[in-house]
Amino acid sequence: MLMRATATTSRPPTSKGAPKASPTSAILSLDECSHLGPLRSPQPPAWSSHFHAAPAFCLQDIPEQKKVVFAPITDLAFKLISHPAVFISPKLLSAYVSLQSVIKDPTPIPIVFSLYARKSYSPPDTEKTITPNANQSKNAIPRHSADAALSTAIEVKDMALCLDIIDTSYGLPAFRNAKLVREATPAAILACLMPPVAYVIGDILARYQDEVDHSHALGFAFAGILAYITFTAGLGIVAVTTANDQMVRVTWAIGTPLRLRWLREEERAAYDRVAQAWGFADPVKRGFEEGEEWELLCEVVFRKNMILDNPDLMDGME
């Protein structure tokens, strides 16, 4: 039965009596797109291993006039994911973003991102309602889901939607808290282990001399090793937080603390992607963009303590 549905939808009907494509047959027909050319999207969305998804090279093979076929499926998916008894897990969120990326309709993704962080849900067979804290790191939007949603919004050329996706993913405190826990915690643990390690190494080095008392030699060695580690780590932190080679059009405003620069780097990179997608590709023409959407982007970037096309950093303005 599935093979017959697939064969029916693989080619357009040639007569009035031919069966029309249904949502189920339209999804089944996606598996027959292997003969088509590769996808030209710069960053395909990440697929969950527990959900069946269409091949990436079929993303651009859905004509605009046939997208209405998928409307019942997307409506049903949104109803399911917004149901009070449904817990939105990272895998479920990734599957929903993948579905909307296939259909090229990322419009409801910002709403789903907000539900992921703030939606209350009731577990089955219980009357207890769990209300999550939107600022906790565990409620942060996964990086791959945010990247996939932003790539789709850029592809459909919707500036307002791109800004909404950034505000509901990269720009939330939960995203910064998750980065702090994921990347800063190992460094903090290592920093806490440095004094005992320096003391042990200093004690070993103090045993190789007999000129001064062992306690004095231990104190000198311990202080020297700890000072070297602290100075080197300080230089490394400054180098990481002040790196700007990855910045193209959106840069930080003068006076932005280094701590915020590091925590909000993904947010700045997202605005940079949007600016590069809407602006001129030729570096000589940069700064001459105009229009309501471009003015909106400039205003939003300015409010985020960033600068779009800083004249001091443009080519020929050094």
**Residue-by-residue pLDDT tens, the chain, 318 positions:** 333 333 333 334 433 444 444 444 444 344 443 333 433 333 433 433 333 333 444 444 455 655 677 788 888 999 999 888 888 999 999 999 999 998 888 999 999 999 999 988 877 777 788 888 888 999 999 999 999 999 999 999 999 999 999 999 999 999 999 999 999 999 899 999 999 999 999 999 998 888 889 899 999 999 999 999 999 999 999 998 888 888 999 999 999 999 999 999 999 999 999 999 998 888 888 888 888 999 999 999 999 999 998 877 776 665
In this structure, is the dihedral angle defined by the CA atoms of residues 135, 136, 137 and 138, taken in order, positive or negative?
A: negative
CA 37 to the chain's CA centroid = 27
The residue among 155, 142, 140, 141 whose CA lies nearest residue 43 is 155
* pLDDT for 129: 82
**So what's the pLDDT on residue 225?**
94
Contact 153, 106 (CB under 8 A): yes
Closest CA to 277 of 151, 162, 154, 104: 154
Phi-psi region of 240 (alpha: psi -120 to 50; beta: other; left: phi over 0): alpha
Query: How long, in residues, is the chain?
Result: 318
Supply the pTM of this predicted model: 0.73
Residue 132 CB contacts under 8 Å (≥ 6 apart), including other chains: 117, 118, 119, 120, 139
Q: Give the burial class of 134: count Cβ atoms within 10 A of its Cβ; 0-12 exposed, 13-18 middle, 19 or more buried.
A: middle
What confidence score (pLDDT) does residue 286 get? 84
pLDDT value for 229: 93
Q: How does strand 250-252 pair with strand 306-308?
A: antiparallel
User: Is residue 237 within 8 Å of residue 184, measured between CB atoms?
Assistant: no
Side chain identity at 59, as an amino acid letter? L
Inter-axis angle of helices 143-155 and 159-167, nearest 10: 170
